[in-house]
Amino acid sequence: MEYNVARGTRDILFKEKRRFKLVEEVIRSVAETYGFNMIETPMFEHTELFARSVGESSDIVNKEMYTFNDKANRSITLRPEGTAGAIRAFVTNKLYSSPDMPVKLMYDGSVFRYERPQAGRFRQFRQFGFEEIGARSPYVDVELIMMVKAILETLGFEGLKIKINTIGDTESRNNYSKVLREHFGAHIDTLCEDCRRRLETNPLRILDCKVDVNHEAIKNAPKIKDYLTEASREYFAKTLELLDSLDVKYEIDESLVRGLDYYNDVVFEIHQEDNKYGALGAGGRYDSLVKEVGGPDLPAVGMAFGVDRLVMIMEEEGMFEDENDVSVDVFVMPMNENMNAKALATAEVLRSIGLIVDIDLSNRSFKSQFKSALRKGAQAAVIIGEEELNNNALVLKNIETATQETIKEEELVAKIQEIVSL
Ligand code: HAM
């Protein structure tokens, strides 16, 4: 019986896994210069947490969660995103009692959504997210957007678009929802099944409908900007003014509403020019969530990158230095089983000076071993034969120059350092 990976999931092998790590490393190190610190939260939480935070009216909670009852019959859900767990952790660990607000935390890890798989869309994927809790100010939102820009530039991206919008505060949204209900109510027969439900639960979601993106009623819908409270209007205007003054390029997208319920005011997404895989990252302000999950009334803002999409685009655009799937510095080749112990000891010496060393202990032919050394990109091969063993000697082969010499064991480290660039 052969098993396949579950739909929407995939194995990430050697080179690609290294690339994921590299990208996450760059993200972390740039974010550290902005004062963010890493946390890790559980991969599953009580279902109720996501229902309350991500929201009952969102597609994620309605259709996309991996939910099951554990053996004690509690409803558990694999996290469909990182914010809910991060904010739960902030509350559980009473991080709000810190005298140093705002608290800036970041995390990476796998998240799970039962979505229809397509290019760049998986059912298990990695997010790298940031949450900044305890401050409400356009300056803070703009600093986060500047960090996003700095991270993407450090990774080597050029020409990405930051789309930005406001969805207003609760009062703005209540006013707007009322108007949208009237507007879409007149077109109810032409709406998809989901949107008919959304008309009741959260009419803003209709603007994000993926079924009929050219629906006239959606295109002609009233705009949130005409229903903003004074406070929300000012907040957004100040944010844009700051972005302009700091020379951060953006594009206002009035259809940007985001698929999670916890947002208010400023929301944004990062897109590549041809928009092949959807957003590369997204976020916004969420001033009610901390209270919603049982903490004090603290405002917050955050965002998350989709790491899979970043890696995919970087691979396509040749932004990684080319390397082998498996790459070593030195390959140690014992010529028969009697030399294996000597080979092991030799490899240890080379590893202790920081080299990546592979060794063939199955005693294949010289030719097969040497072919492996070449495939693995070794710069040097150390050959241990019967005669050498008896004389405390080794054969050192410089693969690039295709030359070799017999050397004394104690010369190995010095000689190999002449060949291998550390
Ligand atoms: P989100 O927009 O749902 O936001 O996801 C963030 C990013 O995850 C997306 O921009 C995209 O790059 C990636 N992503 C989403 N779904 C998939 C998928 N099925 N396959 C591959 N990548 C995907 C959030 O999750 C919020 N928690 C972000 C946030 C943090 N807001 C405030 N703080």
- Index of the ligand 1 atom closest to the CA of residue 304: 28
Q: Is the pLDDT of residue 57 over 90?
A: no
Confidence band (pLDDT; 50, 70, 90) for 104? very high
Pocket perturbation via mutation, ligand 1, pick of 125, 205, 253 by most ligand atoms within 8 A of CB? 125
Confidence band (pLDDT; 50, 70, 90) for 302? very high
| Cα-based distances in Å from 117 to 12, 16, 64, 274 | 16, 20, 12, 19
Helices and strands counted in the chain (H then E): 15, 16
Q: Is the pLDDT of residue 200 over 70?
A: yes
Percent of the chain scoring above 70 in pLDDT: 100
- 288-300 per-position pLDDT tens digit: 999 999 999 999 9
Residues facing residue 334 across a β-bridge: 384
Q: Per-residue pLDDT averaged across 306-317, rounded?
A: 96
Q: Is the pLDDT of residue 243 over 90?
A: yes
The pLDDT of residue 213: 76
CA of 253 to the centre of ligand 1 (A): 18
Q: Is the pLDDT of residue 324 over 90?
A: no
Do the beta carbons of residue 385 and residue 395 sit within 8 Å? yes
Q: Ligand 1 pocket, 80 CB below 6 A?
A: no
Order of strands across the sheet that contains 75-78: 44-46, 75-78, 67-69
| CB atoms inside a 10 Å sphere around CB 368 | 13
Q: Per-residue pLDDT averaged across 139-155, rounded?
A: 97
Q: Rounded distance, CA 349 to CA 335, Å?
A: 19
- 401-421 per-position pLDDT tens digit: 999 999 999 999 999 999 997
Beta-sheet strands, E only, within 286-386 = 300-306, 330-334, 357-359, 380-384
- The region that residue 339 occupies, defined by phi over 0 for left and psi between -120 and 50 for alpha, beta otherwise, is alpha
Q: What six digits make up the tokens of 116? A: 């229809």
Percent of the chain scoring above 90 in pLDDT: 89
- The region that residue 10 occupies, defined by phi over 0 for left and psi between -120 and 50 for alpha, beta otherwise, is beta
Question: 122 by DSSP, 3-state: which?
Answer: coil
Among 206, 224, 222, 127, smallest CA distance to 167 is for 224
Q: How far is CA 286 from the centre of its chain?
A: 20
Q: Rounded distance, CA 132 to CA 98, Å?
A: 13
The pLDDT of residue 323: 72
Q: What six digits make up the tokens of 197? A: 């439900």
Residues facing residue 129 across a β-bridge: 107, 304
Q: Per-residue pLDDT averaged across 228-248, rounded?
A: 97
Instruction: Name the residue at shortest CA distance from atom 8 of ligand 1.
Output: 306
pTM of the model: 0.93
The pLDDT of residue 273: 84
Average pLDDT, the chain: 95
Instruction: Name the residue at shortest CA distance from atom 21 of ligand 1.
Output: 121
- Index of the ligand 1 atom closest to the CA of residue 258: 2
The pLDDT of residue 422: 63
Residues 14, 19, 24, 29, CA torsion sign: positive
Pocket perturbation via mutation, ligand 1, pick of 81, 83, 114, 161 by most ligand atoms within 8 A of CB? 81
CA of 38 to the centre of ligand 1 (A): 18
Instruction: Name the residue at shortest CA distance from atom 2 of ligand 1.
Output: 282
